[in-house]
Amino acid sequence: MNFEMISAAAKRVDGHVRRTPLLSSPALDDIAGKRILVKAECLQHTGSFKYRGGWSAVSALDEATRNRGVIAFSSGNHAQGIAAAAHAFGIPAVIVMPSDAPTLKIEGTKRLGGEVVLYDRGARECRETIGTNIAKERGLTLIKPYDEPQVIAGQGTCGLEIAEQAAALGVSEADVLVCCGGGGFTSGVALALAEKAPKMRVHPAEPVGYDDVARSLKSGKAERNAVEAGGLCDAILTPMPGEITFPIMSRLCGPGLVASEDEALRAMGLAFQHLKVVAEPGGAIALACALFHADDVDSDTIIATISGGNVDPSIFARALETL
Amino acid sequence: MNFEMISAAAKRVDGHVRRTPLLSSPALDDIAGKRILVKAECLQHTGSFKYRGGWSAVSALDEATRNRGVIAFSSGNHAQGIAAAAHAFGIPAVIVMPSDAPTLKIEGTKRLGGEVVLYDRGARECRETIGTNIAKERGLTLIKPYDEPQVIAGQGTCGLEIAEQAAALGVSEADVLVCCGGGGFTSGVALALAEKAPKMRVHPAEPVGYDDVARSLKSGKAERNAVEAGGLCDAILTPMPGEITFPIMSRLCGPGLVASEDEALRAMGLAFQHLKVVAEPGGAIALACALFHADDVDSDTIIATISGGNVDPSIFARALETL
């Protein structure tokens, strides 16, 4: 896993992945007491950065393998990213989702051309077994959500854009906060910036109670979350850092930052009011860290990713109530 | 008023005005039954396209005149556009607003560095008299919201971007729907596209009951709205087409389209769900026409502007309830 894979991914995704804007607002600067730049990946196709990794991974397969199709386990943004990328290539995509996943996400994945296979999370059916069996039967390639080099390379293309867009604003030094689940986005962006903007320092941003990466970076070994699901920030909840992503983050990232769910909701409200974009709770956690914990990092400029915007209206209404 | 003024404005605003993305979603295409591309000017600085015209007009003044300052009459987006542009140049901006304007907009204008002068709309005080007196006393230049060539030139820079971004997607033929109040945005975009994408046809989009421009284009003479204020689409309510803008629209635009306030709210909800952007009611009227009246125009592709996103949370909550 190296920078060259990100460069190669950038060539493959060019013209397919959307170049998302780097937004700002004087009101957010006032709240944080620092300059805040926001990389709005919620405006990416399928509403999250996951489309980058999806396109990168699907496009990296040799044609014969790709034509047999791909499979992914996901209840959320990775599912939609893979389904949409596969659809663009005209190949089959099977998405294995828990049967209690939000209808919106199941329907969204189907609309993007994905074949949804549901499994029963309550009965502790093993999704890996289900998925592996389908993959074998049909010759599908499994695309993991983060511990997969071509996925990390795709997410890294967002880091290339951050470096270019910040440079256009005269910014070369900054702390870069990345919403972090398994670490695919964080490690991809960190690899890209280590090469293209070496004065920038990447930090994973996580919700309180799900700060496995922050604790792992501190202790030097992979730590688990006590609770593995149920939070508002569902998009970025994973049990522990990835096997490929953790060594990259250990080498390149500064300490992890943490914000509460309430702060995430407030950040969603402020993104609505001042940036005019829709963030989901997990997607707003880096912005929440930037706005409410700006002193946890050193630079005068903070670049925060909004990683996704796939949020139910009822949860968004709660964010509006914080205004 | 000609294309060269738009080219000149584009040079002046370069690096200051944000290049907003041209968004899309398969779900919106399905609803309309056509390909829908959305120019998201809600992501512009100050949350609306008005920043383009503001910057263009302020930057076009000679330095001595500019340094004395500018003045504008507006309760909304034009106020913020002018205040922010003036602030960027470090010059004074006086904004004359009705005393019953939403606190959010008054505060927003002040935050952007504007000096707000309130007048009493109920008592039928003449804002023109108030404004003209202040302008004379202090040597300020009045910048009108739409009947001002350098403002129209600035709004036209959005048309240049539409032509380039559509071409990058292989689109040269389209109907282009522009949210229309006095016609500054519509005529600027029409002038730009007549030169840069001559197979595109611009149409003003207005709310039911405030369709002065559509009726004027039909009758061939400037028609008035029966009611002049009070609608949900406050950002684009004007009594009649402008003296400069109407002849341009008559020459270059196709028939006007109209959508209801309920349709505008539904379009806001769909923009939230599928594009992850925040539209205000007036800013969603072109998208509402595209989604729910696609057959009123001929092309297979419709490009709709979202002109602004400055909306109160309580109104946005109503849009969420349509989902």
DSSP for B244-261 reads THHHHHHHH----EEE-H
Q: Are strands B174-179 and A93-98 parallel, antiparallel or unpaired?
A: unpaired
Residue A205 predicted with pLDDT over 90: yes
CB contact under 8 A, A47 and B276: yes
- Residues A267-306 pLDDT 10s: 999 999 999 999 999 999 999 999 999 999 999 999 999 9
**Burial tier of A173 (Cβ tally within 10 Å: 0-12, 13-18, 19+):** middle
Q: Give me the half-sphere count of Cα atoms (radius 13 Å) on the Cβ side of residue B266.
A: 12
CB contact under 8 A, A316 and B47: no
CB contact under 8 A, B272 and A313: yes
ipTM value for the complex:
0.95
**Burial tier of B136 (Cβ tally within 10 Å: 0-12, 13-18, 19+):** exposed
Supply A190's token pair: 């960190």
CA distance A213 to A225: 9
Query: In the structure, how many helices (H) and strands (E) does chain A have?
Result: 14, 10
Contacts of B269 in chain A (CB under 8 A): 313
Contact A93, A113 (CB under 8 A): yes
Instruction: For the beta carbon of residue B222, count every other beta carbon within 10 angstroms.
Output: 17
Q: Which chain A residue is nearest to residue B48, measuring alpha carbons?
A: A276
Residue A117's contacts (CB-CB under 8 Å, 6 or more residues apart) are A94, A95, A96, A97, A130, A131, A134
Instruction: Determine the 3-state secondary structure of A267 from DSSP.
Output: helix
The number of angstroms, rounded, from the C-alpha of B26 to the middle of its chain's C-alpha atoms is 26
- Residues B225-270 pLDDT 10s: 887 667 888 777 788 899 999 999 999 999 999 999 999 999 999 9
Contacts of A272 in chain B (CB under 8 A): 278, 313, 316
Query: So what's the pLDDT on residue B125?
Result: 65
Domain definitions of chain A by residue range: 3-50+148-320, 51-142
Contacts of B43 in chain A (CB under 8 A): 21, 23, 40, 275-277
B276, B314, B316: best to mutate for the A interface, most A CBs within 10 A: B276
Distance of CA A234 to CAs A110, A211, A296, Å? 20, 13, 24
- Residues B119-162 pLDDT 10s: 887 666 677 788 888 999 999 999 999 999 999 999 999 999 99
Residue A136 predicted with pLDDT over 70: yes
CB contact under 8 A, A43 and B19: no
Q: Of the given ranges (B57-66, B111-120, B180-189, B204-213), which has the lowest mean pLDDT?
A: B111-120
As a whole-number percent, the residues of chain A with pLDDT over 90 amount to: 83
Residue A314's contacts (CB-CB under 8 Å, 6 or more residues apart) are none
pTM, two decimal places: 0.96
Q: Which of B27, B111, B313 sits opposite A111 (nearest CB)?
A: B27
Residue B45 predicted with pLDDT over 90: yes
Give the H or E element holding residue A316. Answer: helix A313-320
CA distance A276 to A134: 42
Supply A117's token pair: 């296979």
Instruction: Determine the 3-state secondary structure of A303 from DSSP.
Output: strand
Q: Which residues of A touch B (CB under 8 A)?
A: 15, 18-21, 23, 26-27, 30, 40, 42-43, 47, 111-112, 168, 269, 272-278, 309, 313, 316-317, 320-321, 323
Query: So what's the pLDDT on residue B121?
Result: 73
Q: Which of A42, A168, A320 sits opposite B317 (nearest CB)?
A: A320
Contacts of A320 in chain B (CB under 8 A): 313, 316-317
Q: Of the given ranges (A136-140, B11-15, B96-100), which has the lowest mean pLDDT?
A: B96-100
CB contact under 8 A, A21 and B23: no
The amino acid at A323: L
CA angle A65, A70, A76 (to 5 degrees): 160
Q: Which of B40, B277, B317 sits opposite A317 (nearest CB)?
A: B317
Chain A to chain B Cβ contacts (< 8 Å): 68
CA distance A75 to A53: 16
Q: Which chain B residue is nearest to residue A313, measuring alpha carbons?
A: B320
* CATH number for domain A3-50+148-320, candidates 3.40.50.1100, 3.20.20.70, 3.40.50.2300, 3.90.1520.10: 3.40.50.1100
Fold of A51-142: Rossmann fold (3.40.50)
Contact B290, B304 (CB under 8 A): yes
Q: Which of A275, A309, A313 sits opposite B320 (nearest CB)?
A: A313
CB contact under 8 A, B43 and A21: yes
CA distance B83 to B72: 9
Contacts of B316 in chain A (CB under 8 A): 272, 320
User: Which band of pLDDT confidence, cut at 50, 70 and 90, is reported for residue B274?
Assistant: very high
Architecture of domain B3-49+148-320: 3-Layer(aba) Sandwich (3.40)
